[in-house]
Amino acid sequence: MKQLYNKQNLILLLWAILSTYHAPAQECVNDTLFEPMLCGTIFIPPNGFQKSYYYCDEWKEASILLNSGDKVCGQLVKYNALLDAFIWKPAGKSYEVLLDGRLILSVTFKDIFGKPAHFIKPNAQSTVTFPGGDFFAELLFSGKVRCFVSRKLRISGSTLKTINGITYQVKDLSPDWAYYLILPDGQPVNFAKIKQRKILRAFPQAWREPLAKALRENHLKLHDESDLIRFAEIIEQLPVASLN
């Protein structure tokens, strides 16, 4: 098992090296003289994966908010969930660019269902520090309660696949998602899957019974992300006194 993980780490290291091989220095490009610049390195899309490592395979027109406060609009991007990074397709160019995530505060585009997807840097936009460093997460709900999800993928193994009589080894990908709720008092609650019992157990002891009662009264069971968003709305409506 240890050898498998070492091999996976080596694969990702080689990918990073190959992605930057043709661009030892960062490339900064803009579409017009008046647009802020986007910076990154030339990206070479690798093969050999069982399924796509993108959040959405199609290029999506996005607005990108930089740490400088500048906003770059109308750019084509994809979120690479394995690298936790955005890939950019500059207008009129034949190459792709792995954007420097250190310069980005948020990216907004329409998802596969045509709904706005807003990816943020939680550690840059919260008083709470989350483990894992400076990662991207999709903001699902924002109010007195904030809810977001890290949509990372991980290499979980490999599979032999035969095409035209030739056998290849392809890498398997599995979700490595993590959900986060920031409560009105600033407390963070995190969980890996949307399962009602496990979610309630992740809350402070004083919150559990009032939340369970509120779920019953609202005839809500937590199964998916739409339920989770409704749950966040319900938490906002609860009197603070009942949670102490």
Residue with tokens 């290499």: 155
Q: What are φ and ψ of residue 207, in 5° steps?
A: -85, -20
Distance CA 123, CA 135 (A): 8
Alpha helices by DSSP H, listed for the chain, are: 2-20, 196-202, 205-217, 225-237
Q: Which of 34, 25, 153, 149 is nearest to 85 (CA)?
A: 153
Identify the pLDDT of residue 113. 79
pLDDT at 112 over 80: no
Q: Tell me the two tokens of residue 50.
A: 């069982």
pLDDT at 241 over 60: no
Identify the pLDDT of residue 36. 61
> Is the CA virtual torsion 113, 115, 116, 121 positive or negative?
negative
> What is the pTM assigned to this prediction?
0.81
Model confidence over 171-206: pLDDT tens digits? Answer: 999 999 999 999 888 888 999 999 999 999 999 998
Q: Tell me the two tokens of residue 41.
A: 């390195």
Identify the pLDDT of residue 35. 54
Distance CA 60, CA 109 (A): 6
- The b-or-e profile of 97-133 (16+ CB within 10 A means b, else e) is bbbbbebbbbbbbeeeeeeebbbbbbeeebeeebeee
